[in-house]
Structure 1
Amino acid sequence: MRVLIVSDSHGEGELLQEVVNREQADHVIHCGDFCTESAQLPGGFATVVRGNCDWVEVPWEAQWEGGGIHFLITHGHRLQVGSSLLPLQYRAQEVGAQIACFGHTHIPLSERVNDMLLLNPGSLVNPRGGFPKPSYAVLETSGREDVTVSYFTPDGELLPGLGGKFTVIKRK
């Protein structure tokens, strides 16, 4: 299974569509702040949540299960991810998620905490926190318990030093 994870595309609907078309993922997750009309969002095979800059009525939070993995998807501003990831961890535990996808900070992150993976794809257009390039993430399952997370620039260039291989106990 191949999952494209994006966030904070801030009105760049055409760029978002280019990335979606190039990656040919089985599922797309957008962690909010898309800031476009709903017609510019990926359709059908996507889970999209609302960010603090969005006006389109989509859920503030969603859950999705694919490949035996339970995902929590949120923008993160309502969980104060800019200050601490602890509320996000608690929410993921509460819903039984193995992977918590979030945005808002514009800083790429993939970190295993206890029994879950916290994953921020960064911003598709506006990096922050000293990170020099915009980014998105691709998660691929490999084997029974492993996932690989890779980060790319919007033009498809691999960003070395980010992501990696993580163990996630899949559900049967």
Structure 2
Amino acid sequence: MTRVLILSDSHGLTEELVEIKERHTVDYMIHCGDSELEMDAPEMERFYMVGGNTDMDNRFPEELTLTFNGLTFFIAHGHRHNVKGNIMTIAYRAEEENARVICFGHTHLAGAEKLGSQLLINPGSIRLPRNRSEKTYAIMEWESSEEIEVTFYTVSGEVVQDLTYRVSL
């Protein structure tokens, strides 16, 4: 079982990042931008990270393409892909990278959805959620691309049942 922790839009929070990292045993961790921390801040240790529109450290890459246990991930904050308007631009960009999983933030709207052969995951925000009260992050788990589960958690570690998403790619 491969487990990836995905979060975004922490906007300066530090204690919460440490608590979330300590709470879960995962293989990989992704931060989709707007941490507002330096790239080498101790709280960002072990995260694959991209820069968002409020990140001032210019060492953050704008996007990453990584493969974990046979699945290719495209990671971007989303502000340069107009994700507040629609998700097609980021989906097309991920397709150019042959990515099946797209992780992004920027909208602060938690959710996961399948679009064609791609899985899009926005973990929401652990600081400033939109359209719901819970401050959220996500964990994606899979053994094969036929059985993927994305579970959303509140910043305090409670499962957000209505956001749980199961899919096969």
**Normalised-by-shorter TM-score class:** over 0.9
Q: How does 1:5-154 map to 2 (within 5 A)?
A: 5-37=6-38, 38-43=40-45, 45-56=46-57, 57-128=59-130, 130-143=131-144, 145-154=146-155
Residue 163 of structure 1 deviates from its aligned partner by 2.7
For 1:124 and 1:25, the matched residues in 2 are separated by 18
Q: Counterpart of 1:5 in 2: which secondary structure?
A: strand
Identity of aligned residues (%): 39
Residues 145 and 168, structure 2, Cα contact 8 Å, conserved in 1: no
Runs of 4+ in 1 over 3 A off after TM superposition: none
Q: Counterpart of 2:19 in 1: which secondary structure?
A: helix
Residue 142 of structure 1 deviates from its aligned partner by 3.5
Residue 144 of structure 1 deviates from its aligned partner by 5.2
Gaps of 5+ in 1: none
* Higher deviation after alignment, 105-114 or 135-144: 135-144
C-alpha distance 144-121 of structure 1, shift in aligned 2 (>3 A): closer
AA of the residue aligned to 1:124: I
Residues 74 and 101, structure 1, Cα contact 8 Å, conserved in 2: yes
Q: Counterpart of 2:53 in 1: which secondary structure?
A: coil
> How far does the alpha carbon of each residue in 1:102-160 deviate from its partner, in whole angstroms, 9 at most, with x for none?
000000110000000010000011101x2111100000013452210000001100001
For 1:41 and 1:94, the matched residues in 2 are separated by 32
Residue 9 of structure 1 deviates from its aligned partner by 0.3
C-alpha distance 104-59 of structure 1, shift in aligned 2 (>3 A): same
For 1:85 and 1:9, the matched residues in 2 are separated by 21
RMSD across aligned positions (CA): 1.1
Gaps of 5+ in 2: none
**TM-score relative to the length of structure 1:** 0.93
Equivalences, count:
166
For 2:77 and 2:95, the matched residues in 1 are separated by 17
